[in-house]
Amino acid sequence: MNMTLTREKESPAIATGAVQPAASPEKVYETSYLNLWYGENHALKNINLDMHQNEVTAIIGPSGCGKSTYIKTLNRMIELVPDVKTTGQIKYRNRNILDQSYKVEDLRTQVGMVFQKPNPFPKSIYDNVVYGPRTHGIKNKKILDQIVEKSLKGAAIWNEVKDRLHENAYGLSGGQQQRLCIARCLAIEPDVILMDEPTSALDPISTLKIEELVQELKKDFSIIIVTHNMQQAARISDRTAFFLNGEVIEYADTNTIFSNPTDKRTEDYITGRFG
């Protein structure tokens, strides 16, 4: 192998600029001793993580380490996969969501989600945004109109689509579709927004837009974002959790993780030794 890394180990690969969060704000999610199996495959091992209000929490790690699995557990989307078994606890606002008496529909009304690949419904832009509110029983046309405007503005896409609200969402570009999906998620006025690699299918410009948006959104929401792009985590998150093989190797302020990781594996990963 003709490959040598010239940089010394001590200097971190990427210095981070995320502002250190002021004290520890209220906890939104508290995960304790979470284990998850796909059939025989032990995909999450003893996860302990707390997430905080009005912060961006990033989850990084190499492919297959369980990032998506974990974030999908936070709104119990994981239940759509057959043969999944969990043990442990995830408290959302002090109630254990893994308790079967907790209605998933309730949970998901509070916790919105944005997916890796934009997945608008094959309907008009307007119908995409009002789908959630309508489902929740809001019929009033005027309120719905307001919701559409507010959500699309919130997702920084209002100006681009305000003249074509009734055209099919599939006519939008990938980046626009992803922002529409964010708007759709904002329309239900959630408390937390989960994002699973929301920019990995997008071009650089759209990616930048969404990153800016995330920074905006955290004023009103708590955000948990999965990314395989360390630079992105460094740029936008307050805290970062590093997953490896279904375990949390390290969880700390983004600053700390990127400038001074305690675990050798974290360091190896963020300096690009694997992944």
Partner 1 sequence: MKLINKSHVAKKMPVRLAVNTICKGLFFLATLIGLIVLAILFYRIFTQGIGHLNGDFLQNFASRKPEEAGIKAALIGSIWLMAVVAPVSLMLGVGTAIYLEEYARKNWITTFIKVNISNLAGVPSIVFGLLGLTVFVRALALDRSVLAAGLTMSLLVLPVIIVASQEAIRAVPRDLREASFGMGATKWQTIRKVVLPAAIPGILTGGILALSRAIGETAPLVVVGIPLFIAFLPQTVLDTFTVLPMQIYNWTSRPQEEFQQVAAAGIIVLLILLIFMNSIAVLIRNKFQKRY
Partner 2 sequence: MILEKKSKKKVDVEKIIPKLLFLMAAISVFTTIGIILTLIFETFIFFDRVSIVEFFTASKWLPFASVPSFGIMPLIVGTLKITLIAAVVAVPVGLATAIFLSEYASEKTRRIIKPILEVLAGIPTIVYGFFALTFVTPVLRELFPSLDMFNALSPGIVVGIMIMPMVASLSEDALVSVPKSIREGAYALGATKLETTIKVVLPAAISGIVASIVLGLSRAIGETMIVSVAGGSTPSMNMDVTSSIQTMTAYIVQVSSGDAGYGTTIYYSIYAVGMTLFVFTLVMNLLAQFISRRFREEY
Ligand X SMILES: Nc1ncnc2c1ncn2[C@@H]1O[C@H](COP(=O)(O)OP(=O)(O)OP(=O)(O)O)[C@@H](O)[C@H]1O
Query: Residue count at the site for partner 2 (CB under 8 A)?
Result: 37
4-8: long-range contacts, CB 8 A cutoff, minimum separation 24 = 5/271, 5/273, 7/271
State which of residues 41, 231, 260, 262 lies at the interface with a copy of itself (CB under 8 A): 231
State which of residues 51, 71, 74, 77 lies at the interface with partner 1 (CB under 8 A): 77
- Which of 69/206 has CB closer to ligand X? 69
180 binds partner 2 (CB under 8 A): no
Collapsing DSSP states into helix, strand and coil, what is residue 223? Answer: strand
Other beta carbons within 10 angstroms of residue 267's beta carbon come to: 20
Query: Residue count at the site for partner 1 (CB under 8 A)?
Result: 38
147 binds partner 2 (CB under 8 A): yes
Structure tokens given for 81: 């996969």
Piece of the chain touching Mg ion by CB under 5 A; list 32-40, 68-76, 89-97, 179-187: 68-76
Q: Which of residues 72-91 bind ligand X (CB under 6 A)?
A: 81
- Which of 31/254 has CB closer to a copy of itself? 254
2 binds a copy of itself (CB under 8 A): yes
146 binds partner 1 (CB under 8 A): yes
Q: Which residues contact 224 (CB under 8 A, 6 or more apart)?
A: 29, 51, 56, 57, 59, 71, 74, 192, 193, 194, 195
Site string for a copy of itself, 127-146 (x = CB under 8 A): --------------------
Q: Which residues contact 258 (CB under 8 A, 6 or more apart)?
A: 12, 13, 14, 15, 16, 230, 233, 234, 240, 270
Residue whose pair of structure tokens reads 């719905």 in the numeric block:
144
Site string for partner 1, 165-184 (x = CB under 8 A): -----x----------x--x
Site string for ligand X, 9-38 (x = CB under 6 A): -----------------------------x
Write the burial class of residue 30 (CB in 10 Å: 0-12 exposed, 13-18 middle, 19+ buried).
Answer: middle
- Contact by Cβ (8 Å): 46, 32: no
From first CA to last CA, the distance across the chain in angstroms is 18
- Contact by Cβ (8 Å): 49, 230: no
Shortest Å, Cβ 118 to partner 1: 9
Q: Which of residues 209-268 bind partner 1 (CB under 8 A)?
A: none
Residue 152, amino acid: L
Shortest Å, Cβ 50 to a copy of itself: 21
Binding site for Mg ion (CB under 5 A): 68
Summarize as ranges the residues that interact with ligand X (CB under 6 A).
38, 41, 43, 61, 63-69, 81, 228
